[in-house]
Chains A and B, each alone.
Chain A
């Protein structure tokens, strides 16, 4: 059974979003997603300063098996990509909600987070997919 922290927001495409104190957000892929992908071996994070729209592919995570796109849950401007993932992509497997974060972003619209799923809704989705 994969972990779904209750204080985060989620997307149908298995990204999580954490609100940071400065108003920006941190984004990663869920425990369910990393488990489905298997051992991660390569990660490409977006460049700082890039403007992205909601649903736009912004990062790539590659496991031994396959490459998968990561979509931006909301519109905004990228403020950081996780620099540790280049040397240690396996951080996403070991700590998907912590050290394995992918990027940080300043939302174009502070209210856009309300459109995302809460933990209960995401848990239902994952169960429907047969976790």
Chain B
């Protein structure tokens, strides 16, 4: 039996199909994964993401610790509430985890890390925190709900007092603050607007039911995966891990090499990799033939060798199959993917595939209208 979130019984009562995810018993869908996907692109959906781990850091030297621990620069966090996406690297530049850090002020920061990496992340953070006298608290008392979609923020606002609703609706994109009894972040993993709500575990079921009554669809991890892939967002363990560095994982944009004097863990390894030049990179694929791209399928790159699909699925929004693949850096605009002995044609694109409900994969072909 796996670990259970505070919403486990509710999922069963809603008819969810449960699967193991990183040691947790989680809902994969409540009937139709595709319907749940569309609900988020067109209206609003709610996900139980309580398996993810909230870690609070406190201490005068927390910023200094995070400057060392994270490949992105927390110095970019200029105001209270602002959030930053970053990788946490090992000395070899491999990705221990990807996470979001929220600046909470008064030497306080909140991290949200992945479920499957929770234990090793905590060990690594605690080990490094010792040198900086930073207090590390794993918040097992909390649940986390992601409410996502064009109608998501308005639905959440209806559950709040007038003044809290106004504060929540004025949150800037990619920031999060304590509002009333909850912590609300305008963040997510779907490519749509929305909130992630961190709240007391005892309150989670009631909030879920209130949102359902407002027409917000219950959504499982299946839809979460197709939504994030369409949105061009990496999944830890599929698209990067401790044996891959961010530069070969389409995450160079999350690595702050400036200022040069910030010696974050993994920096030397990334400098060496940069000096050597890119050998592999992570790209987006759109399958042109019929079939479905899946992780570990072989990618044939004309004139440059072979690569591998890291995440692949059928895209409900685009009605074709899409993927991320790690391929030789010399890749052109076309590749073949080997599926059950056949070589199928795929087009190389720059993710995201979908953002705010709109297809982006043909954007390079669009001509300006006169």
Could you write out 17 A-B pairs with CB less than 8 Å apart? A39-B32, A39-B34, A41-B292, A42-B290, A42-B292, A42-B314, A44-B291, A60-B340, A62-B291, A62-B314, A63-B33, A64-B34, A64-B222, A64-B313, A64-B314, A65-B222, A67-B292
Judge whether B188 is part of the interface by a CB distance below 8 angstroms: no
B33 CB, min distance to chain A CBs, angstroms: 5
- B residues neighboring A (CB under 8 Å): 17, 28-29, 32-34, 222, 226, 290-292, 294, 313-314, 316, 321, 340
Centre residue among B17, B34, B226 by max chain A CB count within 10 A:
B34
Apart from A39-B33, A62-B291, what are 5 other A-B pairs with CB-CB below 8 Å?
Answer: A39-B34, A42-B290, A42-B292, A60-B340, A65-B222
**A55 / chain B contacts, CB cutoff of 8 Å:** none
The answer to whether B17 touches A38 (Cβ under 8 A) is yes
* Alpha-carbon distance A63/B314, docked complex (angstroms): 8
B319 CB, min distance to chain A CBs, angstroms: 9
**A86 / chain B contacts, CB cutoff of 8 Å:** 290
* Alpha-carbon distance A67/B222, docked complex (angstroms): 15
The answer to whether A64 touches B226 (Cβ under 8 A) is yes
B295 CB, min distance to chain A CBs, angstroms: 10
Question: Per DSSP, are chain B's interface residues mostly helix, strand or loop, or mixed?
Answer: mixed
- A residues neighboring B (CB under 8 Å): 38-39, 41-42, 44, 60, 62-67, 86
* Alpha-carbon distance A63/B17, docked complex (angstroms): 14
**A65 / chain B contacts, CB cutoff of 8 Å:** 28, 33, 222
**A66 / chain B contacts, CB cutoff of 8 Å:** 294
List the 5 closest pairs (A to B, CB-CB), nearest first.
A41-B314, A39-B34, A62-B292, A42-B292, A64-B33
A108 CB, min distance to chain B CBs, angstroms: 25
B21 CB, min distance to chain A CBs, angstroms: 12
* Alpha-carbon distance A112/B25, docked complex (angstroms): 42
A30 CB, min distance to chain B CBs, angstroms: 16
Which chain B residue lies CB-closest to A43?
B290
Given contacts A64-B226, A86-B290, contact A38 B33 (CB under 8 A): yes
**A67 / chain B contacts, CB cutoff of 8 Å:** 292, 294
Centre residue among B222, B290, B292 by max chain A CB count within 10 A:
B292
**A62 / chain B contacts, CB cutoff of 8 Å:** 291-292, 314
Given contacts A64-B313, A65-B28, contact A38 B292 (CB under 8 A): no
The answer to whether B316 touches A64 (Cβ under 8 A) is yes
* Alpha-carbon distance A65/B29, docked complex (angstroms): 11
The answer to whether A38 touches B290 (Cβ under 8 A) is no
Which chain A residue lies CB-closest to B36?
A39
**A38 / chain B contacts, CB cutoff of 8 Å:** 17, 28-29, 32-33, 222
Which chain B residue lies CB-closest to A41?
B314
**B290 / chain A contacts, CB cutoff of 8 Å:** 42, 86
Centre residue among A38, A42, A64, A66 by max chain B CB count within 10 A:
A64
**B33 / chain A contacts, CB cutoff of 8 Å:** 38-39, 63-65
A50 CB, min distance to chain B CBs, angstroms: 15
B29 CB, min distance to chain A CBs, angstroms: 6
